[in-house]
Amino acid sequence: MSAIEAMRFALARWDGAGLARAARLAEGARGELETRLATLWLAWLRGTPWREEDAASIESDAGKLRAADLVIDGASTRAIALLHQDRIEEAIGVARRAARMASTEGLRGPHALAAVTLARVRAAAGQPVHATRILESLGGWVSPAWSGWLACERLLVSGAIGTGTEADDACPAARAASALAAVLEAAMRGDRRAFDTSAASLRVTTAALGPISRRAHAMTGLLDPHLDPDTLDEDVAEFVRGEGASLPLGLGGLGVSGAHDDATAWILRTPRGAGRRVARAGLALAGASPIVATQRRTGREDVALAMLALAGDEGVEYAQLHRRVYRTPYESGIHDATLRVLAHRIGARLGSAGRVQARAGRVALMVSEAVVVPDPRCALSMEDRVLNVLARHGRSTAREVAAELDAPLRTVQQALRELVEDGACREEPQGRKLEYVVEDTAYSEPTGV
């Protein structure tokens, strides 16, 4: 095994010590580039930031040496740096280019790194379906050394708890994958004691692992409905308090588990004060009664209920509530009766768990016991649900998708037409059938050895 191959092997396992040892074997002109690359990889594993320009210079210098594998590694490393700087669109472009080069050259090691990097970037960009497809495609040909890292990414992106992880307690990535799975499983069971134990173990396991530590901490914050938002990263705290519509940091997998509906996040409201969001996979930890979504097409009651649940006992002004629910300006005396009817309907849904109070120009939700309500802003669209099915199966017909979603065929067909027009998937005739496939540059196995 050459120095760079040993370096990639150690990186795949998040093994900093092994990476440092492998880097000492590098020799010659290539060896100087490999040493520079190892410096950046070690910084990432340790959670230390580095400059995107440093990776770009490696990519450029490797091109002058015609070292294709190092060009690709440099580009992948540059994409990771861009992701850490929240330059998502640039990161997607660089990671896709690295994946295309690796596929063309038939270089498995660089292709694995480029593809898993692209998956991370896709997830951070709010494209979990594409990230899932990339990760699933890798599972068929990458070496077992990558299994721990891939298991971590799959779980965080799609909620999938894998069974093919390399059984190696000496592999930091494999240990992290096991710790993440234990936390998610305990949360979905609603086992508070096991969750607390697993979360504490996860903190210890991932504290010194740059590739996963921040997302591991965010994961527990999104799953634990009783964790103080002030203890979380700013992006996560903002989401928990009700800002934004997508689970942060590419943690979409925490919203696709559970058995309620298509809202990836719900709002926990207790008699003690304002509500907070919790990822759907953590609902069982809330110990609260679910107030399920209505089946009305407009969903106005659900929008209003979620808004009131977040607001706390002080409630929301008539004008603010009307503007959010009906999307038109509020006019006193004209819309008051409409809002009172809305408040009455919400109160009827709550039953003995609470009531809605409308007076003095404000509407407030008062609860006598803990309840959880879906946040419609975090609901999956039909397009997202269709893409999820395509990502799981690789390819499907419209009728197969409709059957799995228990949705009208025409609704699914319309969603597929829009997805094809947007370039999110493509059509492939198979005999008399028309199948739909989610595609990206990293989905295919490299053809070379």
pLDDT bucket at 446, cuts 50 / 70 / 90: very low
Regarding whether 249 and 197 lie in a shared domain, the answer is yes
The domain total for the chain is: 4
Picking from 369, 393, 411, the residue at the C-terminal end of a domain is 369
Euclidean distance between CA atoms 38 and 10, whole angstroms: 10
Euclidean distance between CA atoms 170 and 172, whole angstroms: 6
pLDDT at 424 over 80: no
Distances (CA, A) of 449 to 6, 66, 96, 99, 323: 17, 18, 21, 16, 60
Asked if residues 335 and 254 have their Cβ atoms less than 8 Å apart, the reply is no
Sign of CA dihedral 96, 181, 230, 278: positive
pLDDT bucket at 164, cuts 50 / 70 / 90: low
Regarding whether 241 and 110 lie in a shared domain, the answer is no
Regarding whether 145 and 13 lie in a shared domain, the answer is yes
305-342 pLDDT, tens digit per residue, is 999 999 988 899 999 999 999 989 999 888 888 888 89
What tokens does 435 get? 């199948």
Q: Residue 123, SS3?
A: helix
Longest dimension (CA), the chain: 82
Mean pLDDT for all residues in the chain: 90
Residue with tokens 């992006």: 235
Would residue 120 count as lying in a domain? yes
pLDDT at 63 over 90: yes
pTM for this one?
Answer: 0.87
What tokens does 286 get? 């809330």
Euclidean distance between CA atoms 7 and 77, whole angstroms: 13
pLDDT at 416 over 60: yes
Asked if residues 278 and 264 have their Cβ atoms less than 8 Å apart, the reply is no
Regarding whether 343 and 404 lie in a shared domain, the answer is no
16-36 pLDDT, tens digit per residue, is 999 999 999 999 889 999 999
- What b/e readout covers 164-192, taking b as 16+ CB neighbours within 10 angstroms? ebbeeeebbbbbbbbbbbbbbbbbbeeee
Would residue 159 count as lying in a domain? no
Euclidean distance between CA atoms 244 and 57, whole angstroms: 36
Sign of CA dihedral 403, 407, 412, 414: positive
Work out the average pLDDT over 199-205.
97
Euclidean distance between CA atoms 44 and 55, whole angstroms: 12
Regarding whether 187 and 143 lie in a shared domain, the answer is no
pLDDT at 47 over 80: yes
Regarding whether 57 and 83 lie in a shared domain, the answer is yes
356-385 pLDDT, tens digit per residue, is 988 888 999 999 999 999 999 888 778 878
The whole-number pLDDT of residue 439 equals: 64
% of residues, the chain, pLDDT over 70: 94
What is the phi/psi pair of residue 160, to 5°? -80, 125
Picking from 231, 254, 277, the residue at the C-terminal end of a domain is 254
DSSP 8-class letter at 283: G
DSSP 8-class letter at 263: B
Regarding whether 361 and 389 lie in a shared domain, the answer is no
Picking from 341, 369, 397, the residue at the C-terminal end of a domain is 369
What tokens does 298 get? 């407009």
Euclidean distance between CA atoms 387 and 381, whole angstroms: 10
Regarding whether 388 and 347 lie in a shared domain, the answer is no
What is the phi/psi pair of residue 423, to 5°? 80, 10
Q: Which domain holds residue 47?
A: 3-153
Q: Looking at residue 310, which CATH number applies to its domain?
A: 1.10.10.10
Euclidean distance between CA atoms 205 and 172, whole angstroms: 8
pLDDT bucket at 137, cuts 50 / 70 / 90: confident
Would residue 168 count as lying in a domain? no
Work out the average pLDDT over 133-156.
90
Euclidean distance between CA atoms 91 and 118, whole angstroms: 8
pLDDT bucket at 274, cuts 50 / 70 / 90: confident
Q: How far is CA 384 from the centre of its chain?
A: 13
Regarding whether 421 and 332 lie in a shared domain, the answer is no
The whole-number pLDDT of residue 295 equals: 61
240-261 pLDDT, tens digit per residue, is 999 999 999 999 999 874 433 5
Regarding whether 238 and 346 lie in a shared domain, the answer is no
Would residue 335 count as lying in a domain? yes
87-112 pLDDT, tens digit per residue, is 999 999 999 999 999 989 889 999 99
Q: Looking at residue 28, which CATH number applies to its domain?
A: 1.25.40
Regarding whether 221 and 143 lie in a shared domain, the answer is no
Would residue 140 count as lying in a domain? yes
Strand pairing category for 289-290 and 371-374:
parallel
Distances (CA, A) of 367 to 241, 284, 346: 18, 19, 12
The whole-number pLDDT of residue 354 equals: 92
Residue with tokens 């996860």: 202
Would residue 270 count as lying in a domain? no
pLDDT at 122 over 80: yes
Strand order in the sheet with 289-290: 276-279, 265-269, 371-374, 289-290
Asked if residues 184 and 161 have their Cβ atoms less than 8 Å apart, the reply is yes
Q: What is the DSSP string of 341-407?
A: HHHHHHHHHHGGGEEEEEETTEEEEEESS-EEEE-GGGBPPHHHHHHHHHHHHSEEEHHHHHHHHT-
344-356 pLDDT, tens digit per residue, is 899 999 999 999 9
Work out the average pLDDT over 414-425.
86
Euclidean distance between CA atoms 271 and 57, whole angstroms: 57
Would residue 108 count as lying in a domain? yes
The lowest-confidence range among 39-53, 54-68, 243-257, 381-395 is 381-395
pLDDT at 73 over 60: yes
Amino acid at 173: A
Identify any residues that bridge with 317 across adjacent strands, giving them in sequence order: 362
pLDDT bucket at 165, cuts 50 / 70 / 90: low
DSSP 8-class letter at 107: -
Work out the average pLDDT over 42-63.
95
The closest of 77, 64, 66, 103 to 19, measured between CA atoms, is: 77
Regarding whether 319 and 233 lie in a shared domain, the answer is no
Would residue 35 count as lying in a domain? yes
Sign of CA dihedral 177, 178, 181, 182: negative
